[in-house]
Structure 1
Amino acid sequence: MESESVTTPFGRRPMSLALLLKQRRGEAIAAGTTRSKWKLFRSVCEARAGLDVTDRALTVLDALLSFHPEDELSSEKGLVVFPSNAQLSLRARGMAPATLRRHLAVLVEAGLISRKDSPNGKRYVRRGREGVIDEAYGFSLAPLLARAGEIEAMAARIAADRQLLRGMKERLTICRRDIAKLISAAIEEAVPGDWGRLSSMFHALLQRIPRAATPENLPPILEELETIRLDIINTLESHEKIQIASTSESQIERHIQNSNPESTSESEPGLKTGREADRHHEPRAGRDSREPGMGGEGPLAIARTNAARLKSFPLGMVLQACPDIVDYGPGGAIASWRDLMMAAVVVRSMLGVSPSAYEQAASVMGQENAATVMACILQRGGSITSAGGYLRDLTRRAEHGEFALGPMLMALLRAKDRFKVLLEKGCQRVNVGKEPGAPPRQNEVR
């Protein structure tokens, strides 16, 4: 270990209390402390920002370490190197003498090396008879070894912060891209929402991103951007669920705007008599889209008007008349109109009704009434040979104001009541003459 005596600077360089404290701290090395000088140098390079040294100063430190004969710095061996300015300049990539002196002062100020000046300010070594170094004057690497643990911990912390910052920047980039593209998609698809306000908030947050991002100033902005992205995703998912519940294949709005609906001549023949077919193709008084006084309303406007006249009924009444639809609801239950619409989509696929037939019914009757009609068709499944043709026939009649949902529901309710009365009469007939508490007879209703 080097001598613990204090060395004052040679020449005109002043002495200070800070320099004294750095010298004393540099000499306080725990016994047995060793470090690989090049691994320690890499830690110094990693912790450069925390040590407040420049890259040119690190070049000088690299040159000084190259003059140490061993690959390992040890508290038990000499830590003073004594190269001349000419040799040190060569190993410092030809650095000019004035620049060399300036960066040596930076290393001393940072507490990585200390000066051990000789009486005349020269750097040299005095050896004994056996060639062992008795005294050396030059630059001591003891402060570097004394601060090895501190430097390594600082380097590990800076590396972790850099990795954290890199991950934050990646998340920020992905979040910016997601928000921009999701807002663009929502506007193009005409999804309801205050997209102008969200876009303004998004661009305002982008202006707040600092040029010099750090793990301290970036997380608040990233959190706000992720909140905006989550709100947009929730809005789009809610809209998509509503569309799936009503059509399951596509958005109803696109089919409502289609002025050339699909032909009904598919695998679902319409259930029309000859007179009804003739009446369907005849121009109806007061309904021609070119008739004066109608304001240019076409068949689609008339269909919407007739759909508005189609009365809706309470959900409880629909489920009472059509209890079979409940089994196809989410989780085997129907608690809202939305559940009924989702169940109607399942039933439509099961009964072989084409998506276009159901979408046309929903556009004419309304989503709730179309789902109710599907529930009625399911309830009367045994008496309907072509569910798709029957639905198209009801849709055509609804377009001309000739269909009412109430009679269909009332007929199902009356049929349900008749079945209940017949069942009760059958049970009473079986129980006539039977003693109370007697076991049921063979083939008896239980």
Structure 2
Amino acid sequence: MRKHQTDKRIFIATFILVLIGTIMVSIIGPSYTNIQNIAYGRNDDPNQTFKSQILYVFLAFVTMIFFLRLPLKQVEGEGGKHKKILNMTSKLPEILMFGSLILCLIMYISSLTVELPFVRCALGACRWLNLGIFQLQAAELVKFGALFYFAKICTEYREKGGFSGKKEHMTSRGDGVLRNTKYSYQNKTRLADAKKQKGKVGELTSEIRDILTKTEGRVFWLKYFSTLGVAVFFLVVAQKDLGSALPLIAMALAMLLVSGARLKYFLIIGAAGMVLAVLALSSPHRQERLKGFLQGDSSNAYHINNALIAIGSGGLFGVGIGNNVQTAGYLPESITDSMFAVIGETIGFVGISVVLFFYYMLLSRILKVADCTKESYYQMITIGIFAWLAGHVVVNIAAMIGLVPLTGITLPLLSKGGTSLILNMAIIGLALNISQYTMRADLTDAERK
């Protein structure tokens, strides 16, 4: 597959969303900092929030460019002089996944015993690594590791015909397109069976094939369910972070769906989801949130009520810059979880429509890249990127308009944040990189390199 230009619409949508978010932080940041100073007796610079966001945006774009320029074919390993790179990176998904889980385990132990100097805890949960001038959220690292790990194991199992019994290339719509199976494991065994089907050797080969297939299946599902279960446990129970667990589950399910897994496995995941719901509701503060959402009690639904007031008061064109009322101490987490409501109040329905349009552009183009990607591993990664971002967008906006209880999940590219913004830009840079190797018939010769 010849390399061509990146999908420009992904970059344009990303740039505009980050720009809108940065502008909103510059507008709301001073009042947010002043409120924090009054509440906690601090004397921080009112512009500190905006300054830190500028630093995060700079680091995020640098990270995006790094992943955009990353030589995928070299990392993937095609032999030759890049063999050392392959040896170094072949276990990278496992290192990222299990390294982040070990980090979560250390932080969980810290919350139960003695708080470690490099761990920051708040409200009974240890979620952040304190790196001096920068704080790293462990949940984001878990999602980042899960993106590569689940993509790898789903690709390997699908390439062996584990999901459908034949080697396929599944598009993002889920319709299988048969690949050349001349050198596939299944085709080799079928040729062997055809030649030896009348003899004992053929029967033995068939039995061995069935045993290997069943063994590989058990190993795959053990890896899948155990890793997902441990990750969700650390996020929901240990770190009390249900919001981060939802996009993680969305990623894992999306990859499984595109791989062509059977319905019974989704039923198993559904049963596990019910267990997850019970664990989530075991926390008193989540019970209060759910009670406030269902009953509309003013004391328990304070956040949602003020978010709805902010969106409603914005009207068609908003109250204008500097005229916000809800952000003056009424709307909690105004520059993080509640950014969608802040945009609604400031620039109204028109502003919200613009934001939703660029989210649609971003997500639809990422899905298009997945649909046109030839390499199974890259396709899985792109599907995971889509599910990651879409999960954040849908859950956050649904909470702000009162459709679901609050989960504390941020709005990608718009909300203030360090780790989340940088990793969101990293996966978008990876999607841009993969878009250079898609099967696009609409490209002219001038667009190809």
Which bracket does the TM-score occupy, shorter chain normalised?
A: under 0.3
TM-score (norm 2): 0.19
TM-score (norm 1): 0.19
**Which structure has the bigger radius of gyration?**
1
Higher relative contact order (CA 8 A, sep 6+): 2
Question: Which structure features the higher share of helix residues?
Answer: 2
